[in-house]
Structure 1
Amino acid sequence: MRKLNSAQIKRATYQKYTFWVLPAVIAAGWIYPAAGFLLFLCMLGAVGFALYKGRSWCNWMCPRGAFYDLLLGKISRNVQIPGFFRKKSVRIFMVLLIMSVIGIQFYQVWGNLNSMGLVLIRLLTITTAAGIIFGTLFHPRTWCHICPMGTIANWLSKGKKPLYISDNCVSCKLCTKVCPMQLKPYDYKGFAVMGDNDCLKCSSCVEACPKKALSFSKVVQSNFQESRKHSYPPEIMR
Structure 2
Amino acid sequence: MLKITPYLGALVLIVSIGGLWYPALGYFMLLIFAAIFLSSPFRGRWFCGNLCPRGSLVDFWVSKISKKKKIPASLRSMWVRLPIFFLLMGFMGYRIVNIVGALNTFEKIGMVFVTMCLVTTAIAVLLGSYLSPRAWCSFCPMGTAQRLLGGKRYQLQLAKEKCINCKKCEKICPMQLKICENKTKSDCIKCGRCVAVCPKDALQF
**TM-score (normalised: structure 2):** 0.91
Asked whether the 8 Å contact 2:151–2:187 carries over to 1, the reply is no
**Is 2:100 the partner of 1:110?**
yes
Alpha-carbon separation, structure 2, partners of 1:203 and 1:36: 30
Alpha-carbon separation, structure 1, partners of 2:5 and 2:200: 28
Write out per-residue CA displacement over residues 29-73 of structure 1, whole angstroms, 9 at most, x where no aligned residue. Answer: 111212212111111112211121221111131111101112111
Structure 2 residue runs of 5 or longer lacking an equivalent are none
Residue 173 of structure 1: aligned partner: 167
1:184 to 178, 181, 185: 178
Indicate the SS of the match to 2:185: coil
Alpha-carbon separation, structure 2, partners of 1:120 and 1:215: 37
Residue 34 of structure 1: aligned partner: 24
**TM-score (normalised: structure 1):** 0.79
TM-superposed CA distance for 1:149, in Å, is: 0.7
The structure, 1 or 2, with the larger RCO (C-alpha pairs under 8 Å, 6+ apart) is: 2
Residue 47 of structure 1: aligned partner: 37
Superposition RMSD in Å? 1.6
Write out per-residue CA displacement over residues 138-159 of structure 1, whole angstroms, 9 at most, x where no aligned residue. Answer: 1111111111111000111233
Residue 191 of structure 2: aligned partner: 202
Which has the greater radius of gyration? 1
Count how many residue pairs are aligned between Structure 1 and Structure 2.
Answer: 201
Residue 123 of structure 1: aligned partner: 116
**Is 2:134 the partner of 1:144?**
no
Residue 157 of structure 1: aligned partner: 150
Structure 1 residue runs of 5 or longer lacking an equivalent are 1-9, 189-193, 217-238
Asked whether the 8 Å contact 2:50–2:190 carries over to 1, the reply is no
Asked whether the 8 Å contact 1:18–1:60 carries over to 2, the reply is no
